Chain A
Amino acid sequence: MFHEAPGGSGAWWGWVIGSLVVSAVFLALLQLIPQRFRRYVILAITFLGGLYFALEFFLPTHAMPTPQDPKAEGNFLTPYLVPFGNVATVIGAWTVGVGVLNLCQVHGRRLTRGGSNVIYSFAFFVSMIAMLVFGLLKDVNKTFTDIYDLLFMHGLNTLDATMFSIIAFYIVSAAYRAFRVRSAEATLLLITAVIVMLGQVAVGQMLTSAIPKDSMLAFLRIEGIRNWVLTIINAAATRAIGFGLGIGGLAVALRIWLGLERGSYFE
C-alpha cells in the first residue's frame, strides 16, 4: 500500500496527483453526509484511529530489526505506524496556510478600517512579504542570501532571544512578589527558595565551603541541601503531580476515544 518512488519520476507524480484527487473526492463525500449523521462518522473515525494505536501498543511484539535499529520489536501493525503518523503531519502542513490566511484577513481588515494600531498591521505585511520574497530567492545570488540571513538570523532569531531574555527580569519581579512572609507556607517557600538559589551559585557555595566534603557535617554544605531538596522533596512532589496528570490524561483520552466526552464543543 505504501510505496516509495524516486522524487520527480512519473510514478512519484502519479502518487502525488492521485493522492490529491482521492483526498478531494473523500472530502466531497464527507460534505455530502447529512448533518445528523456527521457526529457518528466523526465518532467512528476517532474510535478506529484510536483503536489502531491502542492495539499496536498492547499486542505482543516480536523482533523486527530495521537498518536504523537492529534491536527493534513490533507486531503486524508496527510497519504502518510511521505512514499513519505522516497523515497527521501532512494535515498539519495544510493548516499552516489556514494560519497565514487568517493573519492576512485580520490585519487586512485593520488596514482598511484604520485606527491607532494600523501601523502594526502594516509592519506585519511588510515583514511577511519581505521574508517570503527573500526566502524564496535566497539561493539565487549572494545578495539575496545575505538579505535573507539578515532578516532571519540577525532579525527574527535576535528578537526571539530578546523575548527569552526578558524572562530573567520577569523572574526577579515575580519572585519579589511571591516570596513574602505572609503565612507559614510562604515563609517555608521563601527559606527553601533562598537555600536552592544560594546552592546554585558559587557565592552561595562559598558560604559553607569551610565544611570538609568528607566530614560528618558534610550534609550541611549548601549544595548538598540544595540537591536533597531538589532530588528528594521536589522530585517526589513533581512525580505525584505527574501521576495525577497521567491518570487525568488517560481519562480525557478515553472519553474522547469512546465518544463519552461532554461539553458544548463535543455535542
Chain B
Amino acid sequence: MEHANLMVQILLPLFSVIIIAAILVARRKNLFIRRIQGLTAIDEAIGRATEMGRPMLCSIGLQGLTVPTLQALAITSYIVRNSARFGTRAIVPVAAPEILPVAQEAVREAYTGEGYPEQYNADDVRFLSGRQFAFAASVSGILVRERVAATFYFGTFFAEALIFAETGNQVGAIQVAGTPSTSQIPFFIAACDYVIIGDEFYAASAYLSREPTLLGSLVGQDIAKGVLIALVVVGAALASLAPVLGQAFVKFFTG
C-alpha cells in the first residue's frame, strides 16, 4: 500500500489549501473563465438534436462510482436540463450497475428541476452490460436504431471509445467528448467534432454552471498548476546542476 512521502505530504495539503482558499474568495468576487470551445458546443449539439427531432445519447463512461464518473454525471445533468426545455429525448446508457440508481436519480432530478418531470423515461436511463465490448455493441446499436443526432461522451473510456465515436460519425451525429483517459483522447480527436482535453473535463461543471464555488475551485486548480510548473522548472534546473551542487538537493525533491 502506498503512503505519502515527504513531497506528497507537503504538496497535497498545500494544493488543497490553495483550492479551498480560492473557493472562499470566489464567493465574494466575480471570476473570469476563458472560453472552452468543446463545452460551448454542447448547447449547439442540443440545438441540432432539437431541430432534427432526434434523440441525444449521453455516455458517462465505463467505471462505477469514481470521481470522473460523478463529474460526467454532473455534465449529463446539465445536458438533460437544457434539453428538457425543448423536449429533446436524452438516452443515458450505463455500464456499471452501481451507477444505475445514481444516474436515474440525477436524470430524474434534472427533468424535475426544469419543471418537466413527465419527460423522464425510465427506459432511457438503463443498464446495458458490464462487459466492455458488449456495452460497446449495445451503444452502437442504440446509435444506429435511434438515429441519434448528438452524442456526448464524458467519463472514463477504454478501447471501446473509437467504436462509439465512429458509429456516431456514421449516423451523422454531432459528437462532443471529454475524458481523463489520456490513451483515448487521440481517438476522440480523430472521430469527434469537439473534444475536451485534460483538466478541461474537470472544469466543465464550473464552466457550464458558473457556480461561484466551482469557479473558485477552478482558479485554485490553476494556481496549483502554476506551483507545479515552477517546481518542474526548479527541478529541471537542479537536476542539470546536480554535478555541481551534488545529489543531496535532487534527492530531497525526489523523496
Using a CB–CB cutoff of 8 Å, the interface residues on chain A facing chain B are: 56-58, 61, 72-75, 78, 81, 91-92, 95-100, 102-103, 105-106, 109, 117, 120, 156, 159-160, 163-164, 166-167, 170-171, 173-175, 177-178, 238, 240-245, 247-256, 258, 260-266
Contact = CB atoms under 8 A, between A and B. Distances in A.
A163 B163 CA distance: 8
A244 B162 contact: no
A58 B1 CA distance: 12
B5 to A, nearest CB: 10
A99 B209 contact: no
A-B interface, 7 closest residue pairs, ranked by CB to CB distance from nearest: A248-B202, A99-B97, A244-B199, A163-B133, A248-B199, A178-B190, A95-B98
Contacts of A240: 198
A249 B130 CA distance: 24
Interface in B181-204: 182, 185, 187, 189-191, 197-199, 201-203
A250 B16 contact: yes
Contacts of B61: none
B202 A174 contact: no
Given A74-B3, A160-B134, A245 B166 contact: no
Given A250-B19, A252-B202, A58 B4 contact: yes
Contacts of B2: 57
Given A57-B4, A260-B213, A265-B73, 8 more contacts: A99-B130, A102-B127, A120-B141, A164-B133, A174-B191, A248-B198, A251-B19, A255-B214
Contacts, number: 190
Given A241-B182, A245-B202, A61 B165 contact: no
B182 A250 contact: no
Contact of B213 (A117, A163, A164, A262): A262
Given A244-B225, A249-B202, A252-B71, A102 B190 contact: no
A245 B67 contact: no
Given A160-B133, A249-B67, A263 B205 contact: yes
Q: Is the interface of B mostly helix, strand, loop or mixed?
A: helix
A178 B74 CA distance: 30
A78 B1 contact: yes
25 contacts: A58-B3, A75-B3, A96-B130, A98-B98, A102-B126, A106-B126, A159-B134, A163-B136, A175-B190, A177-B191, A238-B182, A241-B197, A241-B199, A244-B199, A245-B201, A245-B202, A247-B224, A248-B201, A249-B180, A250-B224, A254-B20, A261-B74, A262-B213, A262-B214, A264-B106
B254 interface: no
B37 interface: no
Chain B interface category by residue count: 35 or more
B9 A262 contact: no
Q: Pick from A247, A251, A258 the residue with the most CB of B within 10 Å.
A: A251
Contacts of A248: 180, 198-199, 201-203, 221
B15 interface: yes
B123 interface: yes
B58 interface: no
B19 A178 contact: no
Contact of A254 (B16, B127, B163): B16
A178 B193 CA distance: 11
B3 to A, nearest CB: 5
Contacts of A75: 3
A251 B220 contact: yes
Interface string B220-231: 110011001000
